[in-house]
Structures are given as structure tokens and as C-alpha cells.
Structure 1
Amino acid sequence: MATGNVSHPTITIDLVLDRLTTKDVLKGILHSILFHRLFGTVKPQTFEVLDVTMPGVSDVGMEQLVNDKVDTFWKGIEGGANKRGQITVIFSEKRPKKSWFQVYMGEENVPWEQWVINAELRQPKADADRQAFNAKLADTLTQAVHTMLTHTSSDRGRAAVPLITNAFGISPFPIDIAVSVGGVDVG
């Protein structure tokens, strides 16, 4: 699942969701990514989604960020004809920005890792379909957590993390979470 470009790794998670589980699944995935990529003092929590235990972060600011982005995604999917969307989590580091003549021009955020969650909303027709749908989604969630663990503990995943020079707060790095539905940024 991990793909990458020259500048930074991009890890992609593909999900097929239904109306009943969309918010819980997206919250669980986002929390799991943050749990594996926040380097401050993290108070852990867990989420049970379709009998899959997912790690999370018990922090008011992070919980609010995740809830806002999931709600934005949900409103975009609910309000339009397009039932496909994407949530992108970008971890960056602040670096000095210089002009052509090496004159200091302030700071810029330079991405060091990106997580792309592709989500498609579908609705199972009957109860038998729902059971199969939920079982497949539970397998996908288990695989997603495995992907997170494998990537963040791999040499490549560890090498992506810049030197931590600021030990204040829950994350020494800027985090940006972007939401798009049908290829259009929302929120």
C-alpha cells in the first residue's frame, strides 16, 4: 500500500464505507495515523470499530481536529452526488525559506510524510450483504493498522521523520488534514 515520490513517502489507504460506519471508521483511521506519528507525550485511547481495536490519541485539540475533518467529509459526501472522497494527512517540518540570493525569507512547511485515505460510500442492499460488507471492511481496517505499524517501524518510515528540535506540545511538526469530495476541496 505504501507508495512514494522522491520528496516524501505517501501511504495510501483505500476504504469502502457505508452510512452506518463512515464516521467511526474515519475517526479510527485518523486517530491511528496520529497515534503513530505524534512524538510528544501522547495519552492513548482505543476505538472499537467493527470489532477491530484501533489506537487513538486522547487529546482535546487532536480529537476536535479529527471530528471537524470527519464531519466536513460527511457533509460533503451527504450533500452531493459524488460518493467518493479523500482525506489527506500531511506531516511537515518548518524550514527556513530563502530567496534566490540566499536571503532569509521566513519559514515554510516542507512535507516529510503524507497519508491518503481514499473513501467510497456504498450501501449494502440486504442483511446478508451487510454481514459480508462489514467483514470485508473489518479486514480492511486490520490491514490499514498493519500498514501503519509496518511503515512507521520500517527503516524508510523512521528515516522520513526529521530531526526533532522542538519538544513542546503533542507534535513538534505541523499537521495539515485536507478533505476533498469528488476531487474538490471542502471545508
Structure 2
Amino acid sequence: MNNTFPTITIDLVLDRLTTKDVLHGVLHSILFHRLFGTVRPQTLEVLDVTMPGVADPEMEQLVNEKVDAFWKGIEGGVNKRGQIVVTFSEKRPKKSWFQVYMGEEDVPWEQWVINAELRQPKSERDRQTFNATLANTLTKTIHTMLTHTSSEKGRTAVPLITNAAGISPFPIKMTVKVGGVEVG
């Protein structure tokens, strides 16, 4: 597969108490920076880090489904590592060998990979250090999002917007993998 589109990787180390909130915040932040329709903004507070979000029932449902699938995959298995991959695509005409129109295909133009590992702090002091480190990681993650989406590479990755209907003119696909196996 020709992987010519930008792939942004976010590495997170989470604990049981913060996993859902952190993943919820990160996914919302990605959507906030990559939806091009009329977005109703919201803010999410995760470990004293303010993260942007999208107040849209359809996007909220998608995020909840993927976070729940990740959680169930991590909780149910022995593997405490997983990832959520968010792929933004555009619809292009699909043609056969003889340039005959064969419908449409989704062609990715950007991908965000969230690698998450579940660890448990041993003591209260460990928890405080863990939370401070995670808050710092979230701040850096937001900075990475802002830097990428405002960079030349981030702006040129976005294809021409030809359909202004809805909150996103592009198909969004989220996949959840735990231990290399797709779940949800």
C-alpha cells in the first residue's frame, strides 16, 4: 500500500481511572482540528488540561463507541496495549483498466494513530507522578495537533472540499485494535 499521506502518532500511557476520559479528549481534539463543516465547539477538562471538542451527537456517538470498544478489548484480554486509528479520506471516482467509471473509492489523505498502554500506579505518590506525566503528555499532544494542522504539510494534505453538506465533507473511519486484532 502506498502510504503517501501524513500519519501522526500519539503515544499514551494510561491507567484504569483516566483511560476513557483521556481517549475521549484526544479523539475529540483530532475531530475538532479536522472537521471542516460548521462545528459547535466544546471544551473537555482532562487532568487539568483543557482540550477542544465537537458538540455533535453523531461524532459523540462515534467517539463513545470506539472508546468503549477499546476499553472492552483491554479489559477482556491479557494484552494491555492497543491503538485507535482515525483515518480521513476523500471519495474519488474508481476506474477500471479501460478508464470505465466503476463507482467511488475512499482514498486516505491523513491518519492519526493513538497508541495506548494501560499501566497501574502502585502507590498514591506514583499516581500523582503518573497523572502529572500524563497531563504533560496531553499538553504535548495538543501542541502536536496544532503544529501539524497549521503547518504547510498539514494544510496541503487536505483535499479540495467539493461537498459542503454536513459536519465533515470527508469520510472518517475509526478502527480499534487490541493486541493487533481489530475489535468493535
Name the TM-score class by shorter chain.
over 0.9
Which of the residues 116, 124, 129 maps onto 1:132?
Answer: 129
Provide structure 1 residue ranges, at least 5 long, that are not aligned to the other structure.
Answer: none
> Identity of aligned pairs, percent?
81
Q: Secondary structure of 1:113's match?
A: strand
Which of the residues 113, 120, 135 maps onto 1:123?
Answer: 120
Which of the residues 155, 159, 171 maps onto 2:156?
Answer: 159
Q: Are 2:74 and 1:77 equivalent residues in the alignment?
A: yes
1:97-116 paired onto structure 2 within 5 Å: 97-116=94-113
Amino acid at match of 1:31: H
Which residue matches 1:52?
A: 49
Amino acid at match of 2:52: P
- Distance, in Å, in 1 between the alignment partners of 2:44 and 2:19 is 14
**After the TM superposition, which segments of 4 or more aligned residues of structure 1 sit over 4 Å from their partners?**
none
- Distance, in Å, in 2 between the alignment partners of 1:10 and 1:68 is 23
Shift of 1:7: 1.6
- Distance, in Å, in 2 between the alignment partners of 1:129 and 1:119 is 19
Which of the residues 134, 140, 143 maps onto 1:143?
Answer: 140
CA RMSD of aligned residues (A): 0.7
- Using the size of structure 2 for normalisation, the TM-score is 0.99
The number of aligned residues is 183
Provide structure 2 residue ranges, at least 5 long, that are not aligned to the other structure.
Answer: none
Q: Secondary structure of 1:112's match?
A: strand
Q: Secondary structure of 1:45's match?
A: strand
Which of the residues 165, 168, 172 maps onto 2:169?
Answer: 172
Which residue matches 2:181?
A: 184
Report Cα offsets for 1:44-73 as digits up to 9, x if no partner. 001000000000000000000000000000
Q: Secondary structure of 1:29's match?
A: helix
- Distance, in Å, in 1 between the alignment partners of 2:4 and 2:96 is 20
Amino acid at match of 2:171: P
Shift of 1:6: 4.9
- Distance, in Å, in 1 between the alignment partners of 2:182 and 2:90 is 23
Q: Secondary structure of 1:25's match?
A: helix
Amino acid at match of 2:44: F
Q: Are 2:49 and 1:66 equivalent residues in the alignment?
A: no
Amino acid at match of 2:145: M
Amino acid at match of 1:12: T
Q: Secondary structure of 2:173's match?
A: strand
Q: Secondary structure of 1:90's match?
A: strand
- Distance, in Å, in 1 between the alignment partners of 2:43 and 2:13 is 22
- Using the size of structure 1 for normalisation, the TM-score is 0.97
